Structure 1
Amino acid sequence: MERLIIVVPAYNEEESLPKTINVLSELMQGFIKQKRISNESIILFVNDGSKDKTWAIINEYDKKNEHVSGINFSRNFGHQNAIIGGLTAAYDYGDIFITIDADLQDDVEAMGKMLDARLEGYDIVYGARNVRETDTKFKRWTAETFYSLMKKIGVEMVPDAADYRLTSRRVVKHLLQFKERNLFLRGIVPKIGYPSTVVYYARKERELGESKYPLRKMLSFAWDGITSFSVAPMHLVLGMGITTTLVSLFMVIYSVWQYFSGRVIPGWSSLMISIWFIGGVQLIGISVIGEYVGKVFNETKERPRFIIQDNLMSTEKKIDEKE
Protein backbone atom coordinates (compact mmCIF):
# COMPACT_ATOMS: atom_id res chain seq x y z
CA MET A 1 0.00 0.00 0.00
CA GLU A 2 1.13 3.52 -0.76
CA ARG A 3 2.03 5.95 2.00
CA LEU A 4 -0.06 9.13 1.84
CA ILE A 5 1.25 12.51 2.97
CA ILE A 6 -1.39 15.23 3.37
CA VAL A 7 0.37 18.61 3.18
CA VAL A 8 -1.54 21.40 4.95
CA PRO A 9 -0.23 25.01 4.80
CA ALA A 10 -1.27 26.98 7.89
CA TYR A 11 -0.96 30.67 8.65
CA ASN A 12 -2.55 32.05 11.84
CA GLU A 13 -4.98 29.14 12.06
CA GLU A 14 -5.10 28.58 15.82
CA GLU A 15 -8.92 28.81 15.83
CA SER A 16 -9.55 26.24 13.11
CA LEU A 17 -6.48 23.99 13.51
CA PRO A 18 -7.74 21.63 16.30
CA LYS A 19 -10.86 20.83 14.29
CA THR A 20 -8.83 20.45 11.08
CA ILE A 21 -6.44 18.00 12.75
CA ASN A 22 -9.28 15.91 14.19
CA VAL A 23 -11.21 15.80 10.89
CA LEU A 24 -8.16 14.85 8.83
CA SER A 25 -7.00 12.30 11.44
CA GLU A 26 -10.38 10.55 11.45
CA LEU A 27 -10.42 10.55 7.67
CA MET A 28 -6.91 9.07 7.49
CA GLN A 29 -7.74 6.41 10.09
CA GLY A 30 -10.71 5.41 7.96
CA PHE A 31 -8.54 5.05 4.86
CA ILE A 32 -6.04 2.96 6.85
CA LYS A 33 -8.76 0.64 8.20
CA GLN A 34 -10.06 0.20 4.65
CA LYS A 35 -6.48 -0.69 3.64
CA ARG A 36 -6.43 2.02 1.02
CA ILE A 37 -3.23 3.62 2.33
CA SER A 38 -0.29 2.62 4.53
CA ASN A 39 -0.49 2.84 8.32
CA GLU A 40 2.63 5.06 8.14
CA SER A 41 0.73 7.84 6.34
CA ILE A 42 1.19 11.34 7.74
CA ILE A 43 -0.59 14.69 7.94
CA LEU A 44 2.14 17.32 7.54
CA PHE A 45 1.27 20.83 8.69
CA VAL A 46 3.40 23.69 7.38
CA ASN A 47 3.46 26.66 9.74
CA ASP A 48 4.06 29.60 7.44
CA GLY A 49 5.43 32.04 10.00
CA SER A 50 2.23 32.33 12.03
CA LYS A 51 2.07 34.97 14.75
CA ASP A 52 -0.42 33.08 16.90
CA LYS A 53 -0.32 29.64 18.57
CA THR A 54 -0.45 27.64 15.33
CA TRP A 55 3.00 26.07 15.77
CA ALA A 56 2.38 25.30 19.45
CA ILE A 57 -0.79 23.41 18.50
CA ILE A 58 1.05 21.45 15.80
CA ASN A 59 3.75 20.53 18.32
CA GLU A 60 1.12 19.39 20.82
CA TYR A 61 -0.64 17.09 18.38
CA ASP A 62 2.66 15.76 17.02
CA LYS A 63 3.41 14.35 20.47
CA LYS A 64 0.07 12.60 20.94
CA ASN A 65 -0.95 11.67 17.38
CA GLU A 66 1.36 9.38 15.41
CA HIS A 67 -0.10 10.57 12.12
CA VAL A 68 0.54 14.28 12.72
CA SER A 69 3.81 16.04 11.99
CA GLY A 70 4.92 19.51 10.99
CA ILE A 71 7.55 21.92 9.79
CA ASN A 72 7.98 25.50 10.95
CA PHE A 73 9.18 28.30 8.64
CA SER A 74 11.47 30.97 10.04
CA ARG A 75 9.01 33.63 8.80
CA ASN A 76 6.05 34.01 6.47
CA PHE A 77 7.01 33.00 2.92
CA GLY A 78 3.53 32.83 1.37
CA HIS A 79 0.99 30.14 0.54
CA GLN A 80 2.62 28.81 -2.63
CA ASN A 81 6.02 28.51 -0.98
CA ALA A 82 4.39 26.78 1.98
CA ILE A 83 3.03 24.10 -0.36
CA ILE A 84 6.41 23.64 -2.06
CA GLY A 85 8.16 23.61 1.32
CA GLY A 86 5.80 20.93 2.58
CA LEU A 87 6.27 18.77 -0.51
CA THR A 88 10.03 19.21 -0.29
CA ALA A 89 10.09 18.08 3.35
CA ALA A 90 7.65 15.22 2.68
CA TYR A 91 9.11 13.88 -0.57
CA ASP A 92 11.36 11.27 1.09
CA TYR A 93 8.51 9.95 3.23
CA GLY A 94 5.57 9.43 0.86
CA ASP A 95 4.31 7.73 -2.28
CA ILE A 96 1.33 10.00 -2.92
CA PHE A 97 0.66 13.54 -1.72
CA ILE A 98 -2.49 15.58 -1.23
CA THR A 99 -2.34 19.34 -0.62
CA ILE A 100 -5.27 21.08 1.08
CA ASP A 101 -5.75 24.34 2.98
CA ALA A 102 -6.20 24.32 6.75
CA ASP A 103 -9.58 26.11 6.72
CA LEU A 104 -11.44 22.96 5.56
CA GLN A 105 -13.42 24.89 2.95
CA ASP A 106 -12.39 22.20 0.47
CA ASP A 107 -14.45 19.03 0.95
CA VAL A 108 -12.18 16.46 2.63
CA GLU A 109 -14.50 13.65 1.48
CA ALA A 110 -13.22 14.28 -2.05
CA MET A 111 -9.95 12.65 -0.95
CA GLY A 112 -11.65 9.25 -1.17
CA LYS A 113 -12.46 9.93 -4.83
CA MET A 114 -8.89 11.08 -5.37
CA LEU A 115 -7.54 7.80 -3.97
CA ASP A 116 -9.95 5.88 -6.22
CA ALA A 117 -8.64 7.78 -9.22
CA ARG A 118 -5.08 7.03 -8.11
CA LEU A 119 -5.89 3.30 -8.12
CA GLU A 120 -7.10 3.75 -11.69
CA GLY A 121 -3.60 4.89 -12.65
CA TYR A 122 -3.80 8.68 -12.51
CA ASP A 123 -0.74 10.56 -11.30
CA ILE A 124 -2.52 13.89 -10.81
CA VAL A 125 -6.05 14.30 -9.49
CA TYR A 126 -7.31 17.88 -9.38
CA GLY A 127 -9.99 18.95 -6.93
CA ALA A 128 -12.33 21.45 -8.60
CA ARG A 129 -15.50 23.19 -7.51
CA ASN A 130 -18.70 22.15 -9.20
CA VAL A 131 -20.54 25.28 -8.00
CA ARG A 132 -19.60 28.70 -6.62
CA GLU A 133 -22.71 29.38 -4.56
CA THR A 134 -20.69 30.41 -1.50
CA ASP A 135 -18.93 33.17 -3.47
CA THR A 136 -20.26 36.67 -4.04
CA LYS A 137 -21.32 37.69 -7.55
CA PHE A 138 -18.22 39.86 -7.82
CA LYS A 139 -15.91 37.01 -6.83
CA ARG A 140 -17.60 34.63 -9.29
CA TRP A 141 -17.28 37.19 -12.07
CA THR A 142 -13.60 37.87 -11.36
CA ALA A 143 -12.84 34.12 -11.19
CA GLU A 144 -14.57 33.44 -14.51
CA THR A 145 -12.80 36.40 -16.10
CA PHE A 146 -9.44 35.22 -14.80
CA TYR A 147 -9.80 31.65 -16.10
CA SER A 148 -11.08 32.92 -19.46
CA LEU A 149 -8.13 35.32 -19.75
CA MET A 150 -5.59 32.64 -18.82
CA LYS A 151 -7.03 30.33 -21.47
CA LYS A 152 -6.85 33.03 -24.13
CA ILE A 153 -3.18 33.77 -23.43
CA GLY A 154 -2.34 30.06 -23.66
CA VAL A 155 -1.92 29.07 -20.00
CA GLU A 156 -3.12 25.53 -19.34
CA MET A 157 -5.22 25.43 -16.19
CA VAL A 158 -8.07 23.38 -14.74
CA PRO A 159 -11.05 25.74 -14.33
CA ASP A 160 -12.23 26.24 -10.72
CA ALA A 161 -9.35 24.11 -9.39
CA ALA A 162 -7.29 25.62 -6.59
CA ASP A 163 -4.36 23.93 -4.79
CA TYR A 164 -6.41 20.96 -3.60
CA ARG A 165 -4.93 18.06 -5.56
CA LEU A 166 -3.36 14.62 -5.37
CA THR A 167 0.03 14.04 -6.96
CA SER A 168 2.16 10.92 -7.23
CA ARG A 169 5.77 10.73 -6.11
CA ARG A 170 7.15 11.02 -9.62
CA VAL A 171 5.05 14.14 -10.28
CA VAL A 172 6.35 15.78 -7.10
CA LYS A 173 9.90 14.85 -8.11
CA HIS A 174 9.52 16.84 -11.33
CA LEU A 175 7.56 19.64 -9.64
CA LEU A 176 10.46 20.26 -7.26
CA GLN A 177 12.74 20.70 -10.28
CA PHE A 178 10.91 23.91 -11.20
CA LYS A 179 13.15 26.47 -9.53
CA GLU A 180 11.35 29.78 -10.20
CA ARG A 181 10.74 31.96 -7.17
CA ASN A 182 7.54 33.47 -8.53
CA LEU A 183 5.37 30.40 -8.02
CA PHE A 184 1.96 29.79 -9.56
CA LEU A 185 1.36 26.10 -8.97
CA ARG A 186 -2.02 26.01 -10.71
CA GLY A 187 -0.19 26.73 -13.94
CA ILE A 188 2.98 24.74 -13.24
CA VAL A 189 1.45 21.35 -12.33
CA PRO A 190 -0.39 20.90 -15.67
CA LYS A 191 2.93 21.50 -17.47
CA ILE A 192 4.42 18.37 -15.87
CA GLY A 193 2.12 16.04 -17.77
CA TYR A 194 1.36 12.45 -16.73
CA PRO A 195 -2.19 11.00 -16.64
CA SER A 196 -4.58 13.34 -14.83
CA THR A 197 -8.27 13.68 -14.01
CA VAL A 198 -10.60 15.95 -12.06
CA VAL A 199 -12.74 15.29 -8.97
CA TYR A 200 -15.57 17.78 -8.41
CA TYR A 201 -16.91 18.90 -5.05
CA ALA A 202 -18.90 21.71 -3.43
CA ARG A 203 -16.74 24.19 -1.53
CA LYS A 204 -17.91 25.22 1.93
CA GLU A 205 -17.79 28.54 3.72
CA ARG A 206 -15.07 29.13 6.29
CA GLU A 207 -16.37 28.22 9.77
CA LEU A 208 -13.58 29.54 11.99
CA GLY A 209 -10.93 32.24 11.65
CA GLU A 210 -10.54 34.85 8.95
CA SER A 211 -9.85 34.45 5.26
CA LYS A 212 -6.17 34.74 4.37
CA TYR A 213 -7.02 35.81 0.81
CA PRO A 214 -8.69 39.26 0.75
CA LEU A 215 -9.35 40.98 -2.57
CA ARG A 216 -5.92 42.64 -2.63
CA LYS A 217 -4.10 39.30 -2.32
CA MET A 218 -6.40 37.64 -4.85
CA LEU A 219 -5.66 40.32 -7.45
CA SER A 220 -1.94 40.12 -6.72
CA PHE A 221 -2.06 36.32 -7.06
CA ALA A 222 -3.90 36.59 -10.40
CA TRP A 223 -1.37 39.13 -11.69
CA ASP A 224 1.51 36.84 -10.68
CA GLY A 225 -0.15 33.99 -12.56
CA ILE A 226 -0.51 36.04 -15.73
CA THR A 227 3.00 37.52 -15.72
CA SER A 228 4.63 34.21 -14.75
CA PHE A 229 3.35 32.33 -17.78
CA SER A 230 2.79 34.83 -20.54
CA VAL A 231 4.14 37.99 -22.15
CA ALA A 232 0.59 38.88 -23.24
CA PRO A 233 0.56 42.10 -21.14
CA MET A 234 3.58 43.32 -23.10
CA HIS A 235 1.78 42.51 -26.35
CA LEU A 236 -1.21 44.46 -25.06
CA VAL A 237 0.99 47.49 -24.40
CA LEU A 238 2.42 47.15 -27.92
CA GLY A 239 -1.12 47.16 -29.30
CA MET A 240 -1.95 50.26 -27.29
CA GLY A 241 1.18 51.95 -28.62
CA ILE A 242 0.30 51.13 -32.23
CA THR A 243 -3.27 52.32 -31.71
CA THR A 244 -2.06 55.57 -30.17
CA THR A 245 0.33 56.13 -33.08
CA LEU A 246 -2.47 55.58 -35.61
CA VAL A 247 -4.78 57.96 -33.75
CA SER A 248 -1.99 60.55 -33.62
CA LEU A 249 -1.37 60.17 -37.38
CA PHE A 250 -5.07 60.64 -38.07
CA MET A 251 -5.08 63.77 -35.92
CA VAL A 252 -2.11 65.17 -37.88
CA ILE A 253 -3.93 64.62 -41.18
CA TYR A 254 -7.10 66.13 -39.74
CA SER A 255 -5.23 69.17 -38.41
CA VAL A 256 -3.57 69.79 -41.80
CA TRP A 257 -6.94 69.53 -43.53
CA GLN A 258 -8.46 71.96 -41.05
CA TYR A 259 -5.55 74.38 -41.59
CA PHE A 260 -5.97 74.51 -45.38
CA SER A 261 -9.72 74.78 -44.95
CA GLY A 262 -9.24 77.92 -42.91
CA ARG A 263 -11.10 76.53 -39.91
CA VAL A 264 -8.28 76.44 -37.42
CA ILE A 265 -9.48 76.82 -33.82
CA PRO A 266 -6.87 76.94 -31.07
CA GLY A 267 -7.47 73.83 -29.00
CA TRP A 268 -5.71 73.86 -25.70
CA SER A 269 -8.02 71.14 -24.31
CA SER A 270 -7.46 68.71 -27.15
CA LEU A 271 -3.71 69.26 -26.92
CA MET A 272 -3.62 68.55 -23.21
CA ILE A 273 -5.85 65.48 -23.57
CA SER A 274 -3.50 64.12 -26.22
CA ILE A 275 -0.46 64.70 -24.04
CA TRP A 276 -2.04 63.04 -21.03
CA PHE A 277 -3.26 60.10 -23.12
CA ILE A 278 0.13 59.42 -24.66
CA GLY A 279 1.82 59.93 -21.29
CA GLY A 280 -0.56 57.44 -19.67
CA VAL A 281 0.16 54.81 -22.32
CA GLN A 282 3.89 55.31 -21.81
CA LEU A 283 3.60 54.93 -18.05
CA ILE A 284 1.54 51.75 -18.41
CA GLY A 285 4.11 50.35 -20.81
CA ILE A 286 7.02 51.20 -18.51
CA SER A 287 5.17 49.64 -15.55
CA VAL A 288 4.48 46.36 -17.37
CA ILE A 289 8.04 46.11 -18.63
CA GLY A 290 9.29 46.96 -15.14
CA GLU A 291 7.20 44.13 -13.71
CA TYR A 292 8.96 41.60 -15.93
CA VAL A 293 12.38 43.13 -15.28
CA GLY A 294 11.67 42.93 -11.55
CA LYS A 295 10.76 39.25 -11.79
CA VAL A 296 13.96 38.54 -13.73
CA PHE A 297 15.89 40.46 -11.07
CA ASN A 298 14.36 38.33 -8.28
CA GLU A 299 15.10 35.10 -10.15
CA THR A 300 18.76 35.95 -10.73
CA LYS A 301 19.36 36.45 -6.99
CA GLU A 302 18.44 32.78 -6.40
CA ARG A 303 17.37 33.36 -2.83
CA PRO A 304 15.76 30.40 -1.02
CA ARG A 305 12.00 30.15 -1.44
CA PHE A 306 11.61 29.14 2.20
CA ILE A 307 13.68 28.49 5.32
CA ILE A 308 12.70 25.65 7.67
CA GLN A 309 13.36 26.55 11.28
CA ASP A 310 11.95 23.37 12.89
CA ASN A 311 11.32 20.02 11.21
CA LEU A 312 9.38 17.32 13.06
CA MET A 313 9.55 15.07 9.99
CA SER A 314 13.14 14.15 10.86
CA THR A 315 11.86 11.49 13.27
CA GLU A 316 9.82 9.75 10.57
CA LYS A 317 11.01 6.74 8.61
CA LYS A 318 12.00 7.47 5.04
CA ILE A 319 10.86 5.29 2.17
CA ASP A 320 13.12 3.70 -0.42
CA GLU A 321 13.74 5.71 -3.56
CA LYS A 322 11.42 4.63 -6.38
CA GLU A 323 11.37 5.56 -10.01
Structure 2
Amino acid sequence: MKSLQEFPRIPLAVLPTSIQKLENISRLLGTNVWIKRDDLTGIGLGGNKVRKLEFLLADAKRQGAEIVFTTGGAQSNHAMLTAACAKKLGMTPILILKKRGVTERKGNQLLEYLMDTDVRFMDTDSYDDIYAEMDRVGQASGKKYYKIPCGGSNAIGALGYVNCMKEIADTGMHFDYVCCAEGSGGTHAGVALGAKLFMPKTQVVGLMVDSDPFEIITTRIMQETAKLLELDFVPTESDVHLVNMCGPGYAIPSPEGNAAIRMMAANEGLFLDPVYTGKAFAGLIKLAREGKFKPDDNVLYLYSGGAGGLFAIDVDLG
Protein backbone atom coordinates (compact mmCIF):
# COMPACT_ATOMS: atom_id res chain seq x y z
CA MET A 1 0.00 0.00 0.00
CA LYS A 2 1.17 3.47 -0.86
CA SER A 3 1.23 5.74 2.20
CA LEU A 4 -1.16 8.70 2.33
CA GLN A 5 1.87 10.82 3.23
CA GLU A 6 3.22 10.22 -0.28
CA PHE A 7 0.45 12.31 -1.86
CA PRO A 8 0.64 16.12 -2.07
CA ARG A 9 -1.53 17.67 0.63
CA ILE A 10 -1.99 21.22 1.90
CA PRO A 11 -3.18 21.50 5.53
CA LEU A 12 -6.42 23.50 5.41
CA ALA A 13 -8.63 21.82 8.00
CA VAL A 14 -8.42 21.94 11.78
CA LEU A 15 -7.84 18.27 12.51
CA PRO A 16 -8.64 15.96 14.12
CA THR A 17 -12.30 16.90 14.40
CA SER A 18 -13.97 15.81 17.61
CA ILE A 19 -16.17 12.77 18.20
CA GLN A 20 -19.02 13.35 20.64
CA LYS A 21 -21.77 11.12 21.99
CA LEU A 22 -25.32 12.31 21.37
CA GLU A 23 -26.67 11.31 24.77
CA ASN A 24 -30.26 12.46 24.26
CA ILE A 25 -30.56 11.08 20.73
CA SER A 26 -29.08 7.79 21.98
CA ARG A 27 -31.83 7.49 24.57
CA LEU A 28 -34.50 8.28 21.99
CA LEU A 29 -33.22 5.74 19.46
CA GLY A 30 -32.18 2.98 21.85
CA THR A 31 -28.59 2.68 20.66
CA ASN A 32 -25.31 4.54 21.13
CA VAL A 33 -25.20 7.39 18.61
CA TRP A 34 -22.00 9.39 18.17
CA ILE A 35 -21.21 12.29 15.87
CA LYS A 36 -18.01 13.12 14.00
CA ARG A 37 -17.89 16.92 13.89
CA ASP A 38 -16.68 17.46 10.35
CA ASP A 39 -18.79 20.61 10.34
CA LEU A 40 -15.90 22.11 12.36
CA THR A 41 -13.09 21.85 9.82
CA GLY A 42 -12.20 25.48 10.32
CA ILE A 43 -12.65 27.34 7.02
CA GLY A 44 -15.79 28.80 5.48
CA LEU A 45 -18.55 27.31 7.60
CA GLY A 46 -16.65 24.02 7.77
CA GLY A 47 -17.72 20.75 6.25
CA ASN A 48 -16.50 17.53 4.70
CA LYS A 49 -15.23 19.07 1.47
CA VAL A 50 -12.23 20.68 3.20
CA ARG A 51 -10.66 17.25 3.72
CA LYS A 52 -10.98 16.56 -0.02
CA LEU A 53 -9.68 20.00 -0.96
CA GLU A 54 -6.47 19.47 1.00
CA PHE A 55 -5.53 16.85 -1.60
CA LEU A 56 -7.24 18.36 -4.64
CA LEU A 57 -5.78 21.85 -4.29
CA ALA A 58 -2.35 20.40 -3.49
CA ASP A 59 -2.59 18.56 -6.81
CA ALA A 60 -3.66 21.80 -8.52
CA LYS A 61 -0.67 23.62 -7.01
CA ARG A 62 1.64 20.79 -8.07
CA GLN A 63 0.44 21.28 -11.64
CA GLY A 64 1.01 25.04 -11.46
CA ALA A 65 -2.66 26.02 -11.73
CA GLU A 66 -3.65 29.62 -11.11
CA ILE A 67 -7.40 29.16 -11.75
CA VAL A 68 -9.56 26.54 -10.05
CA PHE A 69 -12.93 25.57 -11.51
CA THR A 70 -15.64 23.58 -9.84
CA THR A 71 -19.37 23.07 -10.12
CA GLY A 72 -22.54 21.91 -8.38
CA GLY A 73 -26.00 23.26 -7.72
CA ALA A 74 -26.63 26.91 -6.93
CA GLN A 75 -26.29 26.25 -3.18
CA SER A 76 -23.39 23.80 -3.41
CA ASN A 77 -21.46 23.60 -0.14
CA HIS A 78 -18.54 22.15 -2.08
CA ALA A 79 -18.43 25.10 -4.47
CA MET A 80 -18.49 27.62 -1.61
CA LEU A 81 -15.69 25.81 0.25
CA THR A 82 -13.63 25.46 -2.92
CA ALA A 83 -13.82 29.23 -3.31
CA ALA A 84 -12.84 29.79 0.32
CA CYS A 85 -9.88 27.41 0.22
CA ALA A 86 -8.67 28.63 -3.18
CA LYS A 87 -8.82 32.25 -2.01
CA LYS A 88 -6.84 31.32 1.10
CA LEU A 89 -4.14 29.81 -1.13
CA GLY A 90 -3.97 32.80 -3.49
CA MET A 91 -5.67 30.99 -6.37
CA THR A 92 -8.60 32.27 -8.45
CA PRO A 93 -11.80 30.23 -8.08
CA ILE A 94 -14.40 30.28 -10.85
CA LEU A 95 -17.66 28.54 -10.02
CA ILE A 96 -19.78 27.41 -12.97
CA LEU A 97 -22.97 26.22 -11.34
CA LYS A 98 -26.17 24.65 -12.55
CA LYS A 99 -28.96 27.20 -12.57
CA ARG A 100 -30.95 24.97 -10.26
CA GLY A 101 -32.13 25.81 -6.75
CA VAL A 102 -31.84 29.13 -4.93
CA THR A 103 -29.72 31.50 -7.02
CA GLU A 104 -30.57 34.63 -5.02
CA ARG A 105 -28.02 36.15 -2.66
CA LYS A 106 -28.90 33.82 0.20
CA GLY A 107 -27.13 30.93 1.89
CA ASN A 108 -23.95 29.90 0.08
CA GLN A 109 -24.56 32.50 -2.63
CA LEU A 110 -24.23 35.20 0.02
CA LEU A 111 -20.98 33.67 1.29
CA GLU A 112 -19.57 33.53 -2.24
CA TYR A 113 -20.53 37.19 -2.73
CA LEU A 114 -18.71 38.13 0.49
CA MET A 115 -15.61 36.38 -0.86
CA ASP A 116 -15.90 38.29 -4.18
CA THR A 117 -16.11 35.01 -6.06
CA ASP A 118 -16.64 34.73 -9.82
CA VAL A 119 -19.92 32.76 -9.98
CA ARG A 120 -21.54 31.86 -13.29
CA PHE A 121 -24.75 29.92 -13.89
CA MET A 122 -25.56 27.57 -16.75
CA ASP A 123 -29.12 26.56 -17.52
CA THR A 124 -28.32 22.89 -18.05
CA ASP A 125 -28.73 19.54 -16.36
CA SER A 126 -25.55 18.21 -17.97
CA TYR A 127 -22.24 18.38 -16.14
CA ASP A 128 -20.56 17.56 -19.46
CA ASP A 129 -21.78 20.94 -20.73
CA ILE A 130 -20.33 22.61 -17.64
CA TYR A 131 -16.95 20.88 -17.88
CA ALA A 132 -16.76 21.92 -21.56
CA GLU A 133 -17.47 25.52 -20.52
CA MET A 134 -14.67 25.30 -17.93
CA ASP A 135 -12.28 24.34 -20.73
CA ARG A 136 -13.51 27.20 -22.92
CA VAL A 137 -13.13 29.79 -20.14
CA GLY A 138 -9.83 28.35 -18.93
CA GLN A 139 -8.26 28.25 -22.38
CA ALA A 140 -9.47 31.80 -23.13
CA SER A 141 -7.74 33.02 -19.96
CA GLY A 142 -4.34 31.88 -21.16
CA LYS A 143 -3.58 30.66 -17.62
CA LYS A 144 -3.03 27.19 -16.22
CA TYR A 145 -6.31 25.91 -14.79
CA TYR A 146 -7.53 22.92 -12.79
CA LYS A 147 -11.00 21.34 -12.87
CA ILE A 148 -12.50 19.84 -9.71
CA PRO A 149 -15.58 17.68 -10.31
CA CYS A 150 -18.90 18.12 -8.55
CA GLY A 151 -18.46 17.43 -4.84
CA GLY A 152 -14.72 16.94 -5.23
CA SER A 153 -15.73 13.34 -5.86
CA ASN A 154 -12.85 11.61 -7.55
CA ALA A 155 -9.98 9.40 -6.39
CA ILE A 156 -7.78 12.29 -5.23
CA GLY A 157 -10.62 13.87 -3.26
CA ALA A 158 -11.60 10.54 -1.69
CA LEU A 159 -8.12 10.31 -0.15
CA GLY A 160 -9.33 12.91 2.34
CA TYR A 161 -11.84 10.44 3.74
CA VAL A 162 -9.52 7.47 3.64
CA ASN A 163 -7.37 9.66 5.88
CA CYS A 164 -10.41 10.52 8.04
CA MET A 165 -11.02 6.84 8.76
CA LYS A 166 -7.40 6.45 9.81
CA GLU A 167 -7.94 9.45 12.10
CA ILE A 168 -10.93 7.70 13.68
CA ALA A 169 -9.10 4.38 13.96
CA ASP A 170 -6.18 6.11 15.68
CA THR A 171 -8.48 7.12 18.55
CA GLY A 172 -8.87 3.45 19.49
CA MET A 173 -12.66 3.84 19.58
CA HIS A 174 -14.77 1.06 18.06
CA PHE A 175 -17.79 1.77 15.89
CA ASP A 176 -20.10 -0.90 14.53
CA TYR A 177 -21.46 1.47 11.89
CA VAL A 178 -20.45 4.73 10.25
CA CYS A 179 -23.28 6.58 8.48
CA CYS A 180 -22.65 9.39 6.00
CA ALA A 181 -24.59 11.44 3.48
CA GLU A 182 -24.36 10.29 -0.14
CA GLY A 183 -24.58 13.24 -2.52
CA SER A 184 -21.89 12.71 -5.15
CA GLY A 185 -20.15 9.53 -3.98
CA GLY A 186 -16.67 10.70 -3.01
CA THR A 187 -17.07 10.97 0.75
CA HIS A 188 -18.74 7.56 1.00
CA ALA A 189 -16.07 6.03 -1.27
CA GLY A 190 -13.26 7.32 0.94
CA VAL A 191 -15.03 6.30 4.16
CA ALA A 192 -15.84 2.80 2.87
CA LEU A 193 -12.32 2.22 1.54
CA GLY A 194 -10.76 3.66 4.70
CA ALA A 195 -12.94 1.36 6.80
CA LYS A 196 -11.72 -1.69 4.86
CA LEU A 197 -8.14 -0.61 5.54
CA PHE A 198 -8.26 0.68 9.11
CA MET A 199 -11.60 -0.38 10.65
CA PRO A 200 -12.48 -3.73 9.05
CA LYS A 201 -15.14 -4.58 11.65
CA THR A 202 -17.11 -1.42 10.85
CA GLN A 203 -19.94 -1.32 8.29
CA VAL A 204 -20.31 1.94 6.36
CA VAL A 205 -23.78 3.07 5.24
CA GLY A 206 -24.31 5.75 2.62
CA LEU A 207 -27.56 7.68 3.08
CA MET A 208 -28.61 8.88 -0.36
CA VAL A 209 -29.84 12.45 -0.80
CA ASP A 210 -29.92 12.14 -4.59
CA SER A 211 -31.24 9.43 -6.92
CA ASP A 212 -28.08 8.74 -8.94
CA PRO A 213 -26.87 5.12 -9.27
CA PHE A 214 -24.48 5.34 -6.33
CA GLU A 215 -23.81 1.62 -6.18
CA ILE A 216 -21.99 2.16 -9.49
CA ILE A 217 -20.59 5.66 -8.83
CA THR A 218 -19.26 4.95 -5.35
CA THR A 219 -17.75 1.61 -6.36
CA ARG A 220 -15.95 3.24 -9.29
CA ILE A 221 -14.45 5.97 -7.09
CA MET A 222 -13.41 3.34 -4.53
CA GLN A 223 -11.71 1.34 -7.26
CA GLU A 224 -9.88 4.38 -8.63
CA THR A 225 -8.77 5.37 -5.13
CA ALA A 226 -7.59 1.82 -4.40
CA LYS A 227 -5.54 1.97 -7.59
CA LEU A 228 -3.97 5.28 -6.49
CA LEU A 229 -3.05 3.68 -3.17
CA GLU A 230 -1.66 0.61 -4.99
CA LEU A 231 -3.83 -1.75 -2.93
CA ASP A 232 -3.79 -5.47 -3.61
CA PHE A 233 -7.58 -5.78 -3.85
CA VAL A 234 -10.32 -4.30 -6.01
CA PRO A 235 -13.46 -3.00 -4.23
CA THR A 236 -16.79 -4.27 -5.54
CA GLU A 237 -20.43 -3.24 -5.23
CA SER A 238 -20.69 -5.57 -2.23
CA ASP A 239 -18.59 -3.00 -0.33
CA VAL A 240 -21.25 -0.32 -0.87
CA HIS A 241 -24.29 -0.22 1.45
CA LEU A 242 -26.95 2.35 0.61
CA VAL A 243 -30.24 3.65 1.99
CA ASN A 244 -32.34 5.89 -0.27
CA MET A 245 -33.40 9.03 1.62
CA CYS A 246 -33.80 11.29 -1.44
CA GLY A 247 -37.51 11.76 -0.85
CA PRO A 248 -39.19 14.04 -3.42
CA GLY A 249 -35.88 14.84 -5.10
CA TYR A 250 -32.41 16.33 -4.71
CA ALA A 251 -32.43 19.64 -2.81
CA ILE A 252 -36.17 19.28 -2.19
CA PRO A 253 -36.83 19.03 1.57
CA SER A 254 -38.50 15.85 2.80
CA PRO A 255 -40.82 15.40 5.80
CA GLU A 256 -38.40 12.83 7.29
CA GLY A 257 -35.44 15.16 6.83
CA ASN A 258 -37.31 18.07 8.38
CA ALA A 259 -38.26 15.93 11.38
CA ALA A 260 -34.59 14.91 11.79
CA ILE A 261 -33.54 18.57 11.74
CA ARG A 262 -36.02 19.31 14.51
CA MET A 263 -34.94 16.28 16.56
CA MET A 264 -31.25 17.19 16.40
CA ALA A 265 -31.85 20.85 17.18
CA ALA A 266 -34.29 20.24 20.03
CA ASN A 267 -32.27 17.50 21.71
CA GLU A 268 -28.61 18.29 20.98
CA GLY A 269 -28.44 21.96 19.95
CA LEU A 270 -26.95 21.09 16.56
CA PHE A 271 -28.30 22.35 13.24
CA LEU A 272 -28.61 20.14 10.19
CA ASP A 273 -29.62 21.30 6.72
CA PRO A 274 -32.58 20.18 4.56
CA VAL A 275 -30.53 19.11 1.51
CA TYR A 276 -27.83 16.83 2.91
CA THR A 277 -27.40 16.28 6.62
CA GLY A 278 -31.07 16.41 7.59
CA LYS A 279 -32.03 13.71 5.10
CA ALA A 280 -28.94 11.67 5.98
CA PHE A 281 -29.66 11.76 9.71
CA ALA A 282 -33.26 10.82 8.93
CA GLY A 283 -31.79 7.67 7.38
CA LEU A 284 -29.95 6.84 10.59
CA ILE A 285 -33.20 7.37 12.54
CA LYS A 286 -35.04 5.10 10.09
CA LEU A 287 -32.47 2.29 10.47
CA ALA A 288 -32.57 2.59 14.27
CA ARG A 289 -36.35 2.38 14.37
CA GLU A 290 -36.30 -0.60 12.01
CA GLY A 291 -34.04 -2.43 14.47
CA LYS A 292 -30.81 -2.49 12.45
CA PHE A 293 -28.77 -1.27 15.45
CA LYS A 294 -28.56 -3.26 18.69
CA PRO A 295 -28.74 -1.44 22.04
CA ASP A 296 -25.01 -1.88 22.67
CA ASP A 297 -23.91 -0.90 19.14
CA ASN A 298 -21.86 2.24 18.56
CA VAL A 299 -23.14 4.17 15.55
CA LEU A 300 -21.10 7.10 14.24
CA TYR A 301 -22.84 9.81 12.22
CA LEU A 302 -20.44 11.73 10.00
CA TYR A 303 -21.72 15.29 10.26
CA SER A 304 -20.54 16.73 6.96
CA GLY A 305 -21.62 20.33 7.57
CA GLY A 306 -23.57 22.51 5.16
CA ALA A 307 -25.15 25.01 7.53
CA GLY A 308 -25.19 27.66 4.82
CA GLY A 309 -27.98 25.79 3.04
CA LEU A 310 -30.25 26.11 6.09
CA PHE A 311 -30.54 29.84 5.37
CA ALA A 312 -31.25 29.53 1.65
CA ILE A 313 -34.32 27.35 1.45
CA ASP A 314 -37.73 28.31 2.83
CA VAL A 315 -38.71 25.20 4.74
CA ASP A 316 -41.81 24.51 6.79
CA LEU A 317 -40.25 22.50 9.61
CA GLY A 318 -43.54 22.12 11.42
Q: TM-score, normalised by structure 2?
A: 0.30
Structure with higher Rg: it is 1
The structure with the largest helix share of the pair is 1
